Amino acid sequence: MPRADADLIAAPDAPDSSPEVSSTEHIVAAVTRAIVEHRLLPGAKLVEQKLGDRFGVSRTVVRQALFRLSELKLVHLEPARGAFVAAPSIKEAREVFAVRRMVESQMLRELIAHIKPADIRKLKAHLKAERGAVARIDVPTRTKLLFDFHVRLAEVLGNQVLVDLMQELVSRCSLITLMYQSADNAQNSNAEHAQLLKAIEARDTDLALQLLHDHLESVERQLIEAPRTEPRTSAPT
């Protein structure tokens, strides 16, 4: 059975303000990061009291955070049993990838039309950090950076709704790859990100779209029908 340990969730930074909404958002962000970094596994139970103690908040605030995580499809709430990290089906996995292809294709078109040299420099710095984490086999860091690359692309457009949507999609993909990924391909994923950025910098829309589709399809092809029972060390995004 997956471990249900609040210590797997990184301690939050001090909130910028004291309202409950700030504490709720901190819990949501911390749990999401623990899922993306594969410290929390599908099916892991999230105990309200332990989370409250961990974050120094009431169980009411924890429940608000868990409800928000359930809206994001990262947590499954079961009456009389509690909250569990979601365990997506293979059907849901393929639907998520289909949505990513639609959303990211249009995002790329807009991004290539508006990207600036300063944006390219930031994205190159992100890829450098990816390569470093891959080289030193820093699993939590490389996993988060590989997923975050797609969110960084969304941030270039300055559309917060798009950024939030991409964050939700890549977080759900983290659970999907953890359960169903058949190959460890972090290094290849970084190389594919680099090729995609070169096409973006050259403003070659057709090539960028082809590289994006190839990248997502290669990940989806590695999905296996039977879910894994053991945690994986990393996954391509």
Same domain assignment for residues 103 and 209: yes
Residue 229 forms part of a structural domain: no
Among 85, 101, 119, the domain-final residue is 85
Same domain assignment for residues 135 and 55: no
Tens of pLDDT, residues 207-228: 999 999 999 988 787 776 656 5
Same domain assignment for residues 199 and 164: yes
Residue 19 forms part of a structural domain: yes
Same domain assignment for residues 67 and 112: no
Residue 169 forms part of a structural domain: yes
Check residue 138 and give its pLDDT: 82
3-class DSSP string for the chain: CCCCCHHHCCCCCCCCCCCHHHHHHHHHHHHHHHHHCCCCCCCCEECHHHHHHHHCCCHHHHHHHHHHHHHCCCEEEECCCEEEECCCCHHHHHHHHHHHHHHHHHHHHHHHHHCCHHHHHHHHHHHHHHHHHHHCCCHHHHHHHHHHHHHHHHHHCCCHHHHHHHHHHHHHHHHHHHHHECCCCHHHHHHHHHHHHHHHHCCCHHHHHHHHHHHHHHHHHCECCCCCCCCCCCCCC
Residue 228 forms part of a structural domain: no
Q: At what angle do helices 117-135 and 139-156 cross, to 10 degrees?
A: 170
Tens of pLDDT, residues 67-88: 999 998 899 999 989 999 998 8
Residue 237 forms part of a structural domain: no
d(CA 135, CA 137): 5
Same domain assignment for residues 198 and 123: yes
Domain of 26, CATH number, reads 1.10.10.10
Q: How many domains are contained in the chain?
A: 2
Among 34, 52, 85, the domain-final residue is 85
Give the domain extent around 10.
6-85
Same domain assignment for residues 72 and 127: no
Residue 230 forms part of a structural domain: no
Among 50, 67, 85, the domain-final residue is 85
Same domain assignment for residues 166 and 212: yes
Same domain assignment for residues 97 and 59: no
Residues 6+ apart with CB under 8 A from 148: 126, 170
Domain of 172, CATH number, reads 1.20.120.530
Same domain assignment for residues 216 and 105: yes
Check residue 17 and give its pLDDT: 44
Same domain assignment for residues 66 and 149: no
Check residue 141 and give its pLDDT: 84
> Radius of gyration (Cα) for the chain, nearest Å?
18
Check residue 62 and give its pLDDT: 94
The low-confidence residues of the chain, meaning pLDDT below 70, are: 1-21, 181-185, 224-237
Residue 65 forms part of a structural domain: yes
